[in-house]
Chains A and B, each alone.
Chain A
Amino acid sequence: MTAVAMLMWVVAALLATAVLSVAFSRTAAVSHWVYSTCAVLCASALGLLLVHLLGSGASTSGLTLPLGLPWLGAHFRLDALATFFLIVVNLGGAASSVYALGYGRHESAPHRVLPFYAAFLAGMNLVVLADDAFAFLLCWEFMSLTSWALVMTQHREHENTRAAYIYLVMASFGTLTLLLAFGLLAGPDGHYGFAAMRSAVHTPAVSALVLVLVLLGAGSKAGLVPLHVWLPLAHPAAPSHVSALMSGVMTKVAVYGSVRIIFDLLGEPAWWWGMLVLFLGGISTVLGVIYALMQHDLKRLLAYHTVENIGIIYIGLGLALAFQTNAMSGAATLALTAALFHVFNHSLFKSLLFFGAGAVLTATGQRDMEQLGGLIHRMPYTSFAFLVGCVAISALPPLNGFVSEWLTFQAILQSTDLPQWGLKIMVPAVGGLLALSAALAAACFVKAFGVTFLGRPRSAAAMQAHEVDRYSLATMLGFSLLCLLAGILPGLVIDALAPVTMSLIGARMPVQSSIPWLSIIPITAGRSSYNGLLVFAFIAMSGALAAYVIHRFASRALRRAPAWDCGFPDADPATQYTAGSFAQPIRRVFGELAFRLREQLDLPAPGDIRPARFVATLGDRIWELMYLPVVGAVQFGAEQLNRVQFLTIRRYLNLVFLTLITLLLVLAIWP
Chain B
Amino acid sequence: MERLVFDIAHSLAGGLVLVSFMMLYQDRLSALINIFAVQAVLLALSVAWQAYMQQAPHLYITAAIALVFKAIVIPVALHRIIKQLGIHREIEPVVGIGSTMFIGIGLVALSMVVMMRVTGQAAPVAREDLAFALSVILLGMLMMVTRRNAVGQVIGFMSLENGLVLAATGAKGMPLVVEISVAFSVLIAFIVIGIFLFRIRERFDTVDLSALDRHRGGQ
List A residues at the B interface (Cβ < 8 Å): 643, 645-646, 648-650, 653-654, 656-657, 660-661, 664-665, 667-668
User: For the complex, what is the distance from the CA of A668 to the CA of B110, rounded to whole Å?
Assistant: 7
Is there a chain A Cβ closer than 8 Å to B180's Cβ? Answer: no
CB contacts (< 8 Å) of B110 on chain A: these are: 661, 664-665, 668
In the complex, chain A residues whose CB is within 8 Å of the CB of B148: 650
A648 to B138, CA, bound (A): 21
Contact A653 B145, CB 8 Å, known A646-B219, A648-B210, A661-B107: yes
16 sampled A-B residue pairs with Cβ under 8 A: A646-B216, A646-B219, A648-B209, A648-B213, A648-B216, A649-B213, A650-B145, A650-B210, A653-B153, A656-B141, A660-B138, A661-B107, A661-B138, A665-B110, A667-B117, A668-B110
Please judge, given known A-B contacts A649-B212, A650-B209, A668-B117, whether A657 and B111 are in contact too, CB under 8 Å.
Answer: no
Q: Tell whether B118 is near chain A: CB-to-CB under 8 Å.
A: yes
Specify which chain B residues have a CB less than 8 angstroms from the CB of A664 in the assembled complex: 110-111, 114
Q: Is the CB of B68 closer than 8 A to any CB of chain A?
A: no
| Those of B170-219 within 8 Å (CB) of chain A | 209-210, 212-213, 216, 219
Does B155 sit at the interface, judged by CB under 8 A? no
Instruction: Evaluate contact between A657 and B114: CB separation under 8 angstroms.
Output: no
Closest Cβ neighbor of B218 among chain A residues:
A646
> Does B142 make an interface contact (CB < 8 A)?
yes
B108-140 interface with A by 8 A CB criterion:
110-111, 113-114, 117-118, 138
| Residue numbers in A under 8 Å from B107 (CB-CB) | 661
Q: What CA separation (Å) do A664 and B144 show in the bound complex?
A: 18
Q: Is the CB of A667 within 8 A of B142?
A: no
B145/A668 in contact, CB under 8 A: no
Say whether B145 contacts A657, CB under 8 Å.
Answer: yes
Cα A645 to Cα B114 in complex, Å, equals: 32
1/0 per residue B132-165: CB within 8 Å of A? Answer: 0000001001101100100001000000000000
Contacts of B138 in A (CB 8 A): 660-661
- CB neighbours (8 Å) of A656 from chain B are 141
Q: Which residue of B lies closest to A664 (CB)?
A: B114
Q: Which of chain A's residues have a CB closer than 8 A to the CB of B145? A: 650, 653-654, 657
Give Cα A649–Cα B196 distance, bound, in whole angstroms: 14
CA distance A646 to B113 in the complex (A): 35
Chain A residue contacts of B153, Cβ below 8 A: 653
CB distance from B127 to the nearest CB of A (A): 15
Residue of A with least CB distance to B103: A661
**A660, B216: Cα distance in complex, Å:** 27
Q: Which residues of B contact A (CB under 8 A)?
A: 107, 110-111, 113-114, 117-118, 138, 141-142, 144-145, 148, 153, 209-210, 212-213, 216, 219
- The chain B residue with its CB closest to the CB of A654 is B145
B118-A667 in contact (CB<8A): yes
- Residue of B117, B141, B213 near A660 (CB, 8 A) is B141
Tell me the minimal C-beta distance from A640 to chain B in angstroms.
Answer: 14
Q: In the bound complex, how far is the Cα of B111 from the Cα of A665, in angstroms?
A: 9
Report yes or no: A649 in contact with B209, Cβ–Cβ below 8 A: yes
B114–A667 contact, CB under 8 A?
yes
Are B212's CB and A653's CB within 8 A? Answer: no
Q: Which residue of B lies closest to A646 (CB)?
A: B219
Instruction: Output the nearest chain B residue to A670 by Cβ-Cβ distance.
Output: B117
Interchain CA distance A667-B120 in the complex, whole Å: 14
Among A646, A649, A650, A665, the one with the most B-chain Cβ atoms within 10 Å of its Cβ is: A650
Nearest CB of B to A648, in Å: 4
Q: Considering the complex, give the chain B residue whose CB is closest to the CB of A650.
A: B209
Q: Looking across the interface, which residue of chain A has its beta carbon closest to that of B109?
A: A668
Contacts of A665 in B (CB 8 A): 110
A155 CB to nearest chain B CB (Å)? 33
Closest to A648 in B: B213
- Given the complex of chains A and B, what is the CA–CA distance between A667 and B142 in angstroms? 19
Q: Which 3 A-B pairs have the closest CB atoms?
A: A646-B219, A648-B213, A668-B113
Give Cα A653–Cα B154 distance, bound, in whole angstroms: 13
- Nearest residue in A to B147 (C-beta to C-beta)? A650
Task: Give B111's nearest chain A residue, CB to CB.
Answer: A664
- Kindly state the separation between the CA atoms of A645 and B141 in the bound complex, as whole angstroms: 22
Nearest B residue (CB) for A642:
B219
State the CA gap A667–B116 with chains docked (Å): 11
A643 to B107, CA, bound (A): 29
Residue of B nearest to A643 (CB): B219
Query: A648 contacts which chain B residues (CB < 8 A)?
Result: 209-210, 212-213, 216
Known: A648-B216, A650-B210. 9 other contacts (CB 8 A): A648-B212, A649-B212, A649-B213, A653-B144, A654-B145, A656-B141, A657-B145, A664-B111, A668-B113
Alpha-carbon gap, A650 to B110, bound state (A): 23
Q: In the docked arrangement, what's the CA distance between A131 and B168, Å?
A: 43
A646-B219, A649-B209, A668-B110 as given contacts; A657 in contact with B141, CB under 8 Å: yes
Residues in A neighbouring B213, C-beta threshold 8 A: 648-649
Most B CB contacts (10 A, CB to CB) among A645, A653, A656, A660 go to A653
Q: What CA separation (Å) do A660 and B113 show in the bound complex?
A: 15
Chain B residues whose CB sits within 8 angstroms of the CB of A645 once the complex forms: 219
Q: How far is the CA of A660 from the CA of B118 in the complex (A)?
A: 16
Q: Is the CB of B210 within 8 A of A657?
A: no
Inside 8 A of A660's CB, which chain B residues have their CB? 138, 141
How far, in Å, is B104 (CB) from chain A's closest CB? Answer: 12
Q: Bound state CA distance, A643 and B219, in angstroms?
A: 8
How far is A649 from B142 in the complex, measured between Cα atoms in Å? 14
How many angstroms between the C-alpha atoms of A87 and B209 in the bound complex?
Answer: 68
Our pick among B114, B142, B144 for the contact of A668 (Cβ within 8 Å) is B114
CA distance A649 to B210 in the complex (A): 9
Please, how many angstroms separate the alpha-carbon atoms of A660 and B117 in the complex? 17
Residues of A within 8 A of B118 (CB): 667
Q: Which residues of B lie under 8 Å from residue A654 when comparing CB positions?
A: 145
CB distance from A670 to the nearest CB of B (A): 8
Name which residue of chain A comes closest to B117, CB basis: A668
CB distance from B164 to the nearest CB of A (A): 14
Q: Please report the C-alpha to C-alpha distance between residue A169 and residue B118 in the assembled complex, in whole angstroms.
A: 40
Q: How far is the CA of A428 from the CA of B125 in the complex (A)?
A: 70
- Give the complex CA separation of A376 and B157 in angstroms: 81
B141: chain A residues within 8 A (beta carbon): 653, 656-657, 660
A654 to B142 Cα, complex, angstroms = 9
Measured between alpha carbons, how far is A645 from B107 in the docked complex, in Å?
28
Chain A residues, Cβ within 8 Å of B216: 646, 648
A residues less than 8 Å from B209 (CB atoms): 648-650
Docked complex Cα distance between A385 and B134 (Å) = 76
Docked Cα-Cα span, A667 to B113, in Å, equals 9
Complex Cα distance A540/B107, Å? 89
Residues of A within 8 Å of B144, CB to CB, are: 653, 657
List the A side residues contacting B114 at CB < 8 Å. 664, 667-668
Residues on the A chain within 8 Å of B111, using CB: 664
Least Cβ distance of B90 to chain A in Å? 19
Q: How far is the CA of A650 from the CA of B141 in the complex (A)?
A: 11
Which of chain B's residues have a CB closer than 8 A to the CB of A657? 141-142, 144-145
User: B residues within 8 A CB of A649?
Assistant: 209, 212-213
A661 CA to B142 CA in the complex, in Å?
10
